[in-house]
Each structure stands twice: as C-alpha cells, then as structure tokens.
Amino acid sequence: MTNDQLISEIRKKDSFLCIGLDVDLNKIPKHLLAEEDPIFAFNKAIIDATHHLAVAYKPNTAFYEAYGIKGWKALEKTIDYLNTNHPEIFTIADAKRGDIGNTSTMYAKAFLEDLGFDAVTVAPYMGKDSVEPFLSIKDKHIILLALTSNKGAFDFQTQLIDDEELYKKVLKTSKSWEHSDRLMYVVGATKAEYFKEIRKIVPTSFLLVPGVGAQGGNLQDVCKYGMNKDVGLLINSSRAVIYASNQLDFAEAAACEAEALQKQMKAILDKK
C-alpha cells in the first residue's frame, strides 16, 4: 500500500485508528475456547465488527509466538483474512525485529512478502544495514522504533548524544537511508510534548502512536502536536478496544469503543 492510499482511506473513514490484535487466550471470551482456532475466531469477529472504523490492524507477533505453531497459524489466517476481505486496510506486523543484513532480509521476506503485511516494526539499535533490507520492497513500510511508550524509554532513548536525544539521532540518521520515504516511526502517546520536536525532524512521516488509553496517553494532545496536513498519525489502541467485554457481546463492545475513538478522531479532523 502506498502512503497516498493510506491517506485516502483515512479521509474516507474519518479515522486514523489502528487496532492492536494482541490476543491473550486468558482474556478472550470463554465461549471462543471451544472453537477450533480461538485466536483467529476472536480476530475475525473483531475485524468484522470494526473494519469500517479503523484504517489499520496491528497484531503483535509476541502474542502469536507464545502459542507456538497454533499461534503462527492464527497469525497467517488473520493476515490472509485481512488481505482477502479488506485490501484497503493497512496491516502492521508489530515484530520489533532487526538483525545483521542477510538476517533482516529473511525477516523482511517472512513478514512483508510471505505473510503479506504492509509494514513491520523494526528496532534501530543495529543501525542502517539492519534496517535497509526491509526498505527494499516496493510499497512496503518499516515502522522504526523512535520513542516508545514504556518507562524504559528513558534508559537510553532520551539520553543525550551531541546535545540531542538518541531518539532524535535515530530520526535524523534514518532519513539518510535508502528508500527512507518508506519509513514510519513509533512514537509513544505518553509523551505528547515530544511530538512538536519530532515534527521538526520528520514533518511528513507517518507516526504510529501506541499508548493512548490503557497506557495513559491523551488523543487531543497527540493530535495537537503530532498531526500534519495529511494527518500523518496512526493511533493504536489494543486492550481498550479488543477487551471491552469478555462476554458474548465482545465484538459489539469492541465496535462501541472503536466508534467512540473514531468519533473523537472525526471531530478533530473536522476542526482542522
């Protein structure tokens, strides 16, 4: 998917919501455990109920790998279901990978070619040659960790290198990499004041923003400082949407939560 296609979908739906499909069998409704593939059954129901309200879905691969082969099958079925039924949806493998060049090439093949995700999250610690293999695939995107939403972000990401924080160094350096127009960045919502600085460095890039809701981030603040003329934001919500209820009405409850977020987004877009 191109950036323009994603922007067009955002305009069409008045939404820049990304729903995180972080499926934990201890949290989904009990009646789904009788299904042959409870993880996929859960995801399918959530997607069916929310796809008109969201522009992106983001399975975190940890939750699937935790269930071994069953989990990997459920991940395959989920991305196949999305690509077949909703090709207009932007799909993100939240995998936080990154390795030496030939190994990153294998990860890129796995997530972007074989599974067919539109994007994969990548950690920047190993530098340029660990990221560029992911960027070589046309119409596919890398979402590079810049400033994450957890407390540990302050351990290294905000440490000063040449009078600027490491995450700014990551943003600036990555702009010089080949096909950097296919780069997006993870920026946690828990630090809305940082968005102003970030937008000076990457004014046009899409930012994937976790941490709204469960982790305490505020949508208004993020949009105030982080939105650009093409919106440029994908706001992720995982637990608050998908675990809105753990009863028979879980999919309707998820749709309700997603719609509440979409309405807030529409109001913000209307004001702009």
**And the tokens for 180?**
């950097």
Among left, alpha and beta (phi > 0; psi -120 to 50; other), residue 232 is left
* Interface region with a copy of itself, contact rule CB under 8 A, candidates 92-100, 193-201, 250-258, 262-270: 92-100
In angstroms, give the least distance from the CB of 58 to a copy of itself: 12
Nearer to a copy of itself, 126 or 260 (CB): 126
* Number of other CB atoms surrounding residue 63 within 10 Å: 20
Q: Is residue 99 a contact partner of residue 107, using CB atoms and an 8 Å limit?
A: yes
Query: Quick one: which of 72, 136, 224, 259 contacts a copy of itself (CB under 8 A)?
Result: 72
Q: Contacts with a copy of itself in 96-115 (CB under 8 A)?
A: 96-101, 103-104, 106-107, 109-111, 114-115
Query: How is 15-43 classified by DSSP, letter by letter?
Result: --EEEE----TTTS-GGGGGSSSHHHHHH
Cβ distance to a copy of itself smaller for residue 13 or 182:
182
To a copy of itself, the closest distance from the beta carbon of 245 in angstroms equals: 20
Sites for a copy of itself among residues 147-186 (CB under 8 A): 148-157, 159-162, 166, 169-170, 173
128 binds a copy of itself (CB under 8 A): yes
Q: Which of 2, 35, 66, 178 binds a copy of itself (CB under 8 A)?
A: 66
Residue among 161, 156, 131, 126 nearest 144 (CA): 131
Question: Total residues contacting a copy of itself (rule CB under 8 A)?
Answer: 55
Nearer to a copy of itself, 16 or 107 (CB): 107
Q: Given the complex with a copy of itself, which of 101 and 203 has the nearer CB atom? A: 101
**Closest to 244 in 3D by CA, of 35, 53, 73, 67:** 53
Decide: 192 and 225 in contact? Cβ < 8 Å.
yes
What spatial distance separates the first Cα and last Cα of the chain, rounded to whole Å? 25
**Minimum distance from CB of 128 to a copy of itself (Å)?**
5
Question: Closest distance between a copy of itself and the C-beta of residue 150, in Å?
Answer: 4
How many angstroms separate the CA atoms of 184 and 206, rounded?
5
Query: Which residues are part of the catalytic machinery?
Result: 96
Q: How far apart are CA 92 and CA 210, in angstroms?
A: 13
* Shortest CB 18 distance to a copy of itself, Å: 16
Strands (E), the chain: 17-20, 56-58, 90-97, 119-122, 141-147, 160-161, 164-165, 183-187, 207-209, 233-237
Q: Which residues in this chain contact a copy of itself in the complex, by CB under 8 A?
A: 22, 24, 60, 62-63, 65-66, 68-69, 72-73, 76, 96-101, 103-104, 106-107, 109-111, 114-115, 123-131, 145, 148-157, 159-162, 166, 169-170, 173
